Structure 1
Amino acid sequence: MNSRILAAVVGVITSVVIVPTAQASPAGQAFCAEPAPGYARCLIRSSSAPSLRANAVGGLSATDLAAAYNLPPNGGADTLVAISIAYDAPNLEADLNTYRREFGLPECTTANGCFRKVNQNGDPAPLPRADFNWAVESTLDVSMVSAACPACRILVVEGNSPSFPDLAATEDTAVRLGAKVVSNSYGARENGLALSYAKHYERTDATIVVASGDSGFTAASFPAVFPSVIAVGGTTLTKDESTPRGWAESTWQYGGSGCSAYIAKPAWQKDKSCSKRTTSDVSAAADNIAIHSTEIGGWITTAGTSASAPFIAGLYGRNGGTSTAGSLYRHAGDLFDITTGANDRDGTGAKCGYDYLCTAKPGYDAPTGLGTPNGPAAFK
Structure 2
Amino acid sequence: MRLTTRSRFRLGAAAVGLAALTATASMAAPSSTAYAGPVESAHTASSAVRDVCGAAKAGFERCLAEVRTDVHGGLGVRGRAAAAVTGHASALPAGLGPADLQAAYKLPGTGGANQTVAIVDAGDDASAEADLAVYRSSYGLPACTTANGCFRKLNQSGTASPLPADQGWGIEIALDVDMVSAACPQCHILLVESDDAYSRNLAASVDTAVRLGATEVSNSYGATEGNGIQAFAGDYAHPGVAIFASSGDSGYGIPIIPAAYSSVIAVGGTSLTRDSSARGWSETAWSGAGSGCSAWIDKPTWQTDPDCPGRVIADVSADADPSSGPAVYDSDPYDGAPGWVVTGGTSVASPFVAGVVGLAGNPAKFPNASAFYAPSAAAGLNDVVGGRNGSCEGDYLCTGVAGYDGPTGMGSPNGLSAF
Cα distance, 1:309 vs. partner?
Answer: 0.3
For residue 43 of structure 1, what is the aligned residue in structure 2? 64
Letter of the 2:365 counterpart: S
Matched, 1:357 2:397: yes
- The 8 Å contact of residues 12 and 36 in structure 1, kept in 2 or not, is answered as no
- The 8 Å contact of residues 109 and 184 in structure 2, kept in 1 or not, is answered as no
Cα distance, 1:249 vs. partner?
Answer: 1.0
Structure 2: distance between partners of 1:298 and 1:314? 24
Sequence identity of aligned pairs in percent? 48
- The 8 Å contact of residues 65 and 346 in structure 2, kept in 1 or not, is answered as yes
For residue 347 of structure 1, what is the aligned residue in structure 2? none
For residue 53 of structure 2, what is the aligned residue in structure 1? 32
Structure 2: distance between partners of 1:260 and 1:18? 28
1:173 pairs, out of 200, 208, 218, with: 208
Alignment of 1:262-341 (within 5 A): 262-287=296-321, 288-295=325-332, 296-320=337-361, 321-324=363-366, 325-330=369-374, 331-341=377-387
Structure 1: distance between partners of 2:318 and 2:338? 26
Match of 1:232, SS? strand
Cα distance, 1:12 vs. partner?
Answer: 7.2
**Structure 1 pair 173/322, CA: closer, same or farther in 2 (3 Å)?**
same
Matched, 1:53 2:73: yes
Structure 2: distance between partners of 1:50 and 1:356? 33
Structure 2: distance between partners of 1:173 and 1:292? 27
**Structure 1 pair 216/12, CA: closer, same or farther in 2 (3 Å)?**
farther
Query: Under a length normalisation based on structure 2, what TM-score does the superposition of the two structures give?
Result: 0.82
Matched, 1:90 2:132: no
Cα distance, 1:19 vs. partner?
Answer: 9.0
Alignment of 1:78-157 (within 5 A): 78-132=114-168, 134-157=169-192
Structure 2: distance between partners of 1:19 and 1:172? 30
- The 8 Å contact of residues 132 and 329 in structure 2, kept in 1 or not, is answered as yes
Q: Which runs of 5+ in 2 are unaligned?
A: 1-30, 78-91
Cα distance, 1:77 vs. partner?
Answer: 3.3
Letter of the 1:194 counterpart: I
Structure 1: distance between partners of 2:192 and 2:46? 29
- The 8 Å contact of residues 248 and 289 in structure 2, kept in 1 or not, is answered as yes
Cα distance, 1:377 vs. partner?
Answer: 1.9
Cα distance, 1:239 vs. partner?
Answer: 1.0
Letter of the 1:319 counterpart: A
Structure 2: distance between partners of 1:215 and 1:334? 28
Deviations 1:326-345 (A, max 9, x none): 1121213210110010111x
Cα distance, 1:26 vs. partner?
Answer: 5.4
Structure 1: distance between partners of 2:397 and 2:315? 12
The structure where helix makes up a greater share of residues is 2
2:234 pairs, out of 199, 211, 215, with: 199
Match of 2:365, SS? coil
For residue 4 of structure 1, what is the aligned residue in structure 2? none
For residue 260 of structure 1, what is the aligned residue in structure 2? 294
Match of 1:29, SS? strand
> Based on CA coordinates, which of the two structures has the bigger radius of gyration?
2
**Structure 1 pair 259/13, CA: closer, same or farther in 2 (3 Å)?**
farther
- The 8 Å contact of residues 219 and 260 in structure 1, kept in 2 or not, is answered as yes
Match of 2:144, SS? coil
Query: Under a length normalisation based on structure 1, what TM-score does the superposition of the two structures give?
Result: 0.90
Structure 1: distance between partners of 2:350 and 2:64? 10
Cα distance, 1:199 vs. partner?
Answer: 0.6
- The 8 Å contact of residues 110 and 359 in structure 2, kept in 1 or not, is answered as no
Letter of the 1:292 counterpart: Y
For residue 71 of structure 1, what is the aligned residue in structure 2? 107
Structure 2: distance between partners of 1:25 and 1:336? 29
Structure 2: distance between partners of 1:35 and 1:254? 18
Alignment of 1:1-12 (within 5 A): none
Letter of the 2:61 counterpart: A
Match of 2:103, SS? helix
Structure 1: distance between partners of 2:184 and 2:147? 19
Cα distance, 1:45 vs. partner?
Answer: 1.1
